[in-house]
Chains A and B, each alone.
Chain A
Amino acid sequence: MTALAIDVEGLTKRFSGRTVVDNVSLKVPEGEVWGFLGPNGSGKTTTIRMLCGLLKPDGGSGTCLGLDIVSEAEAIKRQVGYMTQRFSFYEDLTVKENLDFVARLYALPDRRKQVEVTMERVGLAPRRNQLAGSLSGGWKQRLALAACMMHTPKLLLLDEPTAGVDPQARREFWEQIHALARDGVTVLVSTHYMDEAERCDRIAYIAYGKLLAIGTVEEVVAGARLSTWIATGPGRNDVALRLAGVPGIATAVFGPSLHVSSTDAEALRRAIEPYRNDPRLTWREAQPSLEDVFIHLIESATAARGKAA
């Protein structure tokens, strides 16, 4: 068994009485790329911040790279690269000045050369003297990633690094992530994109501060035990509207098709029965997609909360 880059147990964080992260346990083996998914405000950022020592957990314990996340936070900071959700380098410094600042903070040997090499590698060299604030979203993201990798961290914590970045830049970004993973770097990346989730070795899904699913994409999909029917045709929106209120049934329209899912295959069959003969629709039973699974997870989590409250 390989060593664990992240090994935390029961992480809990409360903000003024509200539990934002609730008993989260993660075991991420070295060299794997993990996707961290969940709706906005589900606790992804808070979890990541606890992992790199920016927040003190109210409960739970664990290690990052074998170092205790509470008592050895300073040592963790030296070996972890953390990319914040919001661009957090200096907009009034140039690309080169930003990288130079970071290189100095980590006391990198041969600093000038390191900065040059980094700029060349990520293609920022022609923009070295451009102010970071004037870079487009994609270039800002490259700069941020380059900066948090310059000290060759063994673990990268990336908080929605590709939010607002175009598909081309996202693809290049993921190629870089996989290249890093081949070199043994462990990556935990939070995202809202399904295609990115599918690029990960494993995914962890969190909602309302609780981890709801963990595993490979196939495991998560299989683990949900979801039945899904897909209806295609012009009548899909009407059906979606009628099925929306049915308990235990999740619906989602994707372009021309409607996905209807439930954990109870029999109930699902009964629910769609009245619309099966609609001449405008063609029905087929399908393998649920990761997105179907996530929609189902968040809806059942919301329903469970509603019941509890």
Chain B
Amino acid sequence: MLAALARVVAMTLKELTQLRRDRLTFGMILGVPVMQLLIFGYAINADPKHLPTALISRDPGQIERNIVGALERSGYFRVVAQVSGEADAERLVAEGDVAFVVTIPDGFTRDLLKGERPQLLIEADATDPAATSNAVAALAQLPRTALRHDLPNLVEQPGFEVVVHRRYNPEGLSAYNIVPGLLGVILTMTMVLMTSLAVTRETERGTMENLLAMPLHPAEVMAGKVLPYIVIGYVQVAVVLLAAKFLFQVPMLGSIGLLTTALLAFLLANLAVGLTFSAIARNQLQAMQMTFFFFLPSILLSGFMFPFRGMPDWAQVIGEVLPLTHFLRIVRGILLKGNGAPEIWPEVWPLLIFASVAWTVAILRYRRTLD
């Protein structure tokens, strides 16, 4: 009995010593909970406020000011743009610059005063139903708060009617938002993990020494490592898109060819992250831990799980750096909004910048010798 205890103690001590040697694992044991605490505690907010809103006003005046004031007082809306035409408003929604477009039609004040119950049109970007549903619910109070001061007699009846158009996802199905998003999540996971493991495996098994001794350029090793995973990535894309179409009936309004092209930038960005990890990690376990450290903020801060606009500024800044954030906007934009190349370009170039920086780091970190 005592001997068994001594053996368990021996094993425990050995385990602790090994753990202490592996700094990275040790850091992860402390780092991951801290990161989770910070993200879940401070960054995530399922009830986003101050959503950017565009205003098309065909009836300027006191009532317009009252409506805008009431919208902003609700806490959910922030008028960031005043546009003159539908086309401009359309572009703002497509590119994701605004979540709502409020249209005050011609003669709104006149009709209101005549008691003809005019319509106030509110178009909501419903690609992510969770992000806009609370704001839409708050609109029920809008006529009351807008008219309370200046036209209290109109507050009850007949007032005005708020017409809400849920754009892109009229039924508010969350699958429309999540399934395309999953595409990005799956790709992030496999691309980063597979490449970081693939190169680290060579180092761990000692085959890297052999590769370095043969006439192979680092760029050639990297290209050879990365190409199979690009193919695998596209196979995954095909599987997810087919499932999205036939199992979940996700609309596919835009060009799949455009999506395929934009995907390449996203794949390259993730592959470079994987290569960088593999150049730093000394074994496959470390590579896996680093992947996890990248993956966690990617799913939490990109707008995949929680509304991007609900996060505080610092979290949005981190989110803007992550490739997944931009890819989510691209894939949702193309599939649900039918966006074309001009609309997705603002999300493509950050991916390209990320990819070039990550590739530079990966190439610099890759060792040509064993030093």
- A, B: real partners: yes
State the A residues within 8 Å of B (CB): 49, 52-56, 74, 77-78, 80, 82, 84, 86-91, 102, 105-106
Produce 1/0 per residue, B179-209, CB < 8 A to A: 0000000000000000000000000011111
Interface residues of B (CB under 8 A from A): 205-210, 212-217, 369-371
> Are B370 and A54 interface neighbours, CB within 8 A?
yes
Chain B's nearest CB lies how many Å from the CB of A117?
20
Nearest-CB residue, chain A, relative to B217: A74
Asked if A84 and B206 make an inter-chain contact with CB atoms under 8 angstroms apart, the answer reads: yes
Taking a contact as CB atoms under 8 Å apart, the answer to whether A88 and B207 are in contact is: yes
CA A77 – CA B217 in complex, angstroms? Answer: 11
Q: Are B210 and A84 in contact (CB under 8 A)?
A: yes
A89 touches B210 (CB 8 A): yes
Is there contact, CB below 8 Å, between B213 and A84? yes
Task: Give which listed residue, B207, B216, B369, contacts A56 with CB less than 8 A.
Answer: B369
**Known: A54-B213, A78-B215, A82-B213. Is A90-B371 also a contact (CB below 8 A)?**
no
In Å, the complex CA distance between A90 and B205 comes to 9
Please, which residues of chain A bring their CB within 8 A of the CB of B212? 54
Contact of A55 among B210, B216, B217, B371 (CB under 8 A): B371
A-B contact count (CB 8 A): 46
Q: How far is the CA of A90 from the CA of B204 in the complex (A)?
A: 12
What 6 pairs between A and B have smallest CB-CB spacing? Answer: A88-B210, A82-B213, A78-B215, A86-B206, A88-B206, A77-B215
Given contacts A77-B213, A82-B213, A102-B214, A56 and B371 within 8 Å (CB-CB) = yes
Q: Shortest CB–CB separation between residue B368 and chain A, in angstroms?
A: 9
A46's nearest neighbour on chain B, judged by CB, is B370
Question: What are 20 A-B pairs at a CB distance below 8 A?
Answer: A49-B370, A54-B209, A55-B369, A55-B370, A74-B215, A77-B214, A77-B215, A78-B215, A80-B213, A82-B213, A84-B213, A88-B205, A88-B206, A88-B209, A89-B210, A90-B207, A91-B205, A105-B216, A106-B214, A106-B215
Q: How far is the CA of A90 from the CA of B208 in the complex (A)?
A: 10
**What's the Cα separation between A80 and B213 when bound, in Å?**
9
For B205, B213, B369, which residue has the most chain A Cβ atoms within 10 angstroms?
B213
Min distance, Cβ A15 to any Cβ of chain B, angstroms: 9
In the complex, residue of chain B having the shortest beta-carbon distance to the beta carbon of A133: B205
> What's the nearest-Cβ distance from chain B to residue A260, in Å?
41
User: Which of chain A's residues has its CB closest to B212's CB?
Assistant: A54
Contact yes or no, B210 A52, CB < 8 A: no
Please give the distance in Å from B242's CB to the nearest CB on chain A. 31
CB < 8 Å: which of B206, B215, B216 contacts A87? B206
In the bound complex, residues from chain A placing their C-beta under 8 Å from that of B217 are 74
Q: Report the separation of the CA atoms of residues A54 and B205 in the bound assembly, to the nearest whole angstrom.
A: 17
User: Which residues of A have CB within 8 Å of B214?
Assistant: 77, 102, 105-106
Instruction: Using CB atoms, name the residue of chain A closest to B216.
Output: A105
Q: Decide: A89 and B215 in contact? CB cutoff 8 A.
A: no
**Complex Cα gap A89–B209 (Å):** 10
Max chain A Cβ within 10 angstroms of own Cβ: one of B206, B208, B215, B217: B215
Interface contact B209-A84, CB-CB below 8 Å:
yes
Q: Shortest Cβ distance from B51 into chain A, in angstroms?
A: 53
Query: How far does the alpha carbon of A166 sit from the alpha carbon of B162 in the complex, in Å?
Result: 89
CA distance A78 to B208 in the complex (A): 17
In whole angstroms, what is the CA distance A82 to B209 when docked?
10
Please pick, from A49, A56, A88, A105, the residue contacting B215 in the complex, using a CB distance under 8 A. A105
Residue of B nearest to A159 (CB): B209
- Nearest Cβ on chain A to B202's Cβ, whole angstroms: 9
Closest-CB distance, B86 to chain A (whole angstroms): 60
By the criterion CB–CB under 8 Å, are B207 and A89 in contact?
Answer: yes
- 12 further interface pairs, Cβ-Cβ under 8 Å (given A55-B370, A82-B210, A89-B210): A55-B369, A77-B215, A80-B213, A82-B213, A86-B206, A88-B205, A88-B207, A88-B210, A105-B214, A105-B215, A106-B214, A106-B215
CA distance A80 to B212 in the complex (A): 12
In whole Å, how far is A56's beta carbon from the nearest beta carbon of chain B? 6
Closest to B208 in A: A88
Task: Determine how close the nearest CB of chain A comes to the CB of B308; give it in whole angstroms.
Answer: 42
Question: A144: nearest residue on chain B (CB-CB)?
Answer: B210
Assembled-state Cα–Cα distance A183/B216 (Å): 27
Looking at the assembled complex, report how far the CB atom of A280 sits from the nearest CB atom of chain B, in whole angstroms: 44
Contacts A78-B215, A106-B214 given; does A54 touch B206 at CB 8 Å = no
What is the minimal beta-carbon distance from B340 to any residue of chain A, in angstroms? Answer: 43
Q: Which residues of B contact A105 (CB under 8 A)?
A: 214-216
B216 to chain A: which residues have CB within 8 Å? 105
- What residues of B have a CB within 8 angstroms of the CB of A102 in the complex? 214
The reply to whether A54 and B369 contact each other, CB–CB distance below 8 Å, is: yes
Tell me the minimal C-beta distance from B225 to chain A in angstroms. 14
A135 and B335 CA atoms in complex are apart in Å by 52
Interchain nearest-CB distance for B297 vs A (Å): 33
CB of A6 to closest CB in B, whole Å: 16
- Cα–Cα, bound, A84→B370 (Å): 13
Residues of the A chain whose Cβ atoms lie less than 8 Å from the Cβ of B369: 53-56
CB distance from A8 to the nearest CB of B (A): 17
Give Cα A80–Cα B207 distance, bound, in whole angstroms.
17
B207 contact set on A, CB distance < 8 A: 88-90
Contact assessment for B371 and A52 in the assembled complex, using a CB-CB cutoff below 8 Å: no
Cα distance A267–B215 when bound, in Å?
Answer: 55
Chain A nearest Cβ from B215, distance in angstroms: 5
A50 smallest CB distance to B (angstroms)? 10
Q: Output the nearest chain A residue to B213 by Cβ-Cβ distance.
A: A82
Q: How far is the CA of A294 from the CA of B215 in the complex (A)?
A: 37
Nearest CB to that of A105 among chain B residues?
Answer: B214
CA distance A102 to B214 in the complex (A): 8
- B223 to A: closest C-beta gap in Å: 13
Cα A89 to Cα B212 in complex, Å, equals 12
Hey, which chain B residues are within 8 Å of A54, CB to CB?
Answer: 209, 212-213, 369-370
In the bound assembly, the distance between CA atoms of A55 and B213 in angstroms comes to 10
Q: Which residues of A contact B209 (CB under 8 A)?
A: 54, 84, 86, 88
